Amino acid sequence: MCFGDCRYDLHLDALDNGRIRNFLKTAQADGPLLVVDSEIVRDNYLKFARALPDTRVFYAVKANPAPEILQLLADLGSCFDCASVVEIDMALATGVSPDRISFGNTIKKERDVAAAFSRGVRLFAVDCFEEVEKIERAAPGARVFCRILADGAGAEWPLSRKFGCVPEMAADVLEHAHRRGLVAYGVSFHVGSQQNNGAWDQALASAAEIFRECERRGISLAMVNLGGGFATRYLKDIPAVEAYGNSIFEALRAHFGNRIPETIIEPGRGMVGNAGVIEAEVILVSKKSQAEDEIRWVYLDIGKFGGLAETMDEAIRYPIRTAHDGEATSPCVLAGPTCDSADVMYEKNAYPLPISLSIGDKVLIEATGAYTTTYAAVAFNGFAPLASVVI
């Protein structure tokens, strides 16, 4: 674990090139503002494309659906992983053809499946027999892939048991699809977001076993969807995209031999996380008693409901820059501005901030390009949703 002084050693791309700082000099935002640097998103896309040259990229739209980001990625050749009809329409608005869209949510209303099908989408996620039957009725003949559970070990934002079936059930689900005239296309998993280890190996072992089982039943699967999970650097160092690429490739070779299937990845956080910086303001710095060693509370104009939802359970620990960096620090409780007592971001693991930090100061919250703008309350307490610009 690295926080406190060592955070100053980190080079987080979004502030390295000066573009965001320059923009903020003249932006005069009245509330918190997310600024996303499109050059970094472009760089991230190219890194994925180079590290996994035979893998198609389906950007997970939910991570940041800003139209400029979707357009940039579409122009670079990306495909899109969408969770709803609204996200499908956002992707289509870039001009991509519907064969570059996957409806990757395993929990869909049948009429939304029909709406996607009528827009030309032909690739759907399933994780149970019931969902297969919805696809059969609303999207006849479409391709389906079966999501399997991955345990999420090694992930800082695990995805629990909500999505996917046990690997032993997948061949039955895919056979069910096959018998109902759908194309049993492949297997998917998500190893958990902000994944720091080689969890892909275990998941790929399961996927290969499902391929073999389907083969025995006369069904040849074509694709493995490797999901997301690629990390963004917050305060700890993370594996480079190249390292993920190598371990995925090795795992594919180990489990599929020379019959390597078609693969896709669905990066969300890894595509946009490090491209964004939120400028926020210190509303209050105070103490709960006059005791000498009493901890300081720092209240920002952004919190759990305004875009930093991933601080829930102190899961994601964002780097915070101030104009006083380099000066002496002391641990602080960091909280948001709303009247909900849950709106405290870091308390168990207090956050070191400069002692000279004071009311009215601006702070820069780094690596906030993913899961911020759309992960915010609409108007809780009257606070506006997080504003954002792409430069």
Nearer of residues 351 and 371 to ligand PLP, judged by Cβ? 371
Site for ligand PLP in 241-300 (CB under 6 A): 266-270
330 within 8 A of 366, measured Cβ to Cβ: no
Please pick, from the candidates 12, 41, 57, 60, the single residue that binds ligand PLP as defined by CB under 6 A. 60
If one asks whether residue 303 binds ligand PLP (CB under 6 A), the answer comes out as no
Q: Which is nearer to ligand PLP, 66 or 363 (CB)?
A: 66
Q: What are phi and psi of 365, to 5 degrees?
A: -105, 115
Give me the helix-helix angle, 129-138 and 167-179, nearest 10°.
30
Question: Is residue 332 flagged as an active site residue?
Answer: no
For position 164 contacting ligand PLP by CB under 6 A, the verdict is no
Q: Which stretch binds ligand PLP (CB under 6 A): 41-49, 176-184, 227-235, 240-248?
A: 227-235
Does residue 321 bind ligand PLP (CB under 6 A)? no
- In the complex, the smallest distance separating the C-beta of residue 90 from ligand PLP, rounded to whole angstroms, is 15
Does 228 bind ligand PLP (CB under 6 A)? Our answer is yes
| Residue 157: CB minimum distance to ligand PLP, A | 7
Closer to ligand PLP by Cβ: residue 88 or 332: 88
Residue among 128, 165, 332, 339 flagged as catalytic? 339
Cβ-closest position to ligand PLP: 228
What b/e readout covers 250-275, taking b as 16+ CB neighbours within 10 angstroms?
A: ebbeebbeeeebebbbbbbbbbbbbb
Pick the binder of ligand PLP from 38, 69, 79, 81 (CB under 6 A). 81
Structure tokens at 286: 């105070």
Residues 96 to 155: which contact ligand PLP by CB under 6 A?
104
> Which residues have CB under 8 Å from 380's CB, separation 6+?
305, 338, 340
Q: Provide, rounded to whole angstroms, the least separation between the CB of residue 111 and ligand PLP.
A: 21
The least distance separating ligand PLP from the CB of residue 146, rounded to whole angstroms, comes to 13
- Nearer to ligand PLP by Cβ, of 233 and 324: the residue is 233
Instruction: Verify binding: residue 198, ligand PLP, rule CB under 6 A.
Output: no
By CB under 6 A, how many residues form the interface with ligand PLP? 16
Q: How far is the CB of 108 from ligand PLP (least distance, A)?
A: 12
Q: Does 69 bind ligand PLP (CB under 6 A)?
A: no
Which residue's CB is nearer to ligand PLP, number 211 or number 371?
371
Q: 2 is written with which tokens? A: 């690295």
- Residue choice 158, 167, 198, 227 for contact with ligand PLP (CB under 6 A): 227
Write down the least CB distance from residue 292 to ligand PLP, Å: 44
Kindly list the residues in this chain that would bind ligand PLP in the complex (CB under 6 A). Answer: 60, 62-63, 81, 104, 190, 193, 227-230, 266-270
Catalytic residue numbers? 339
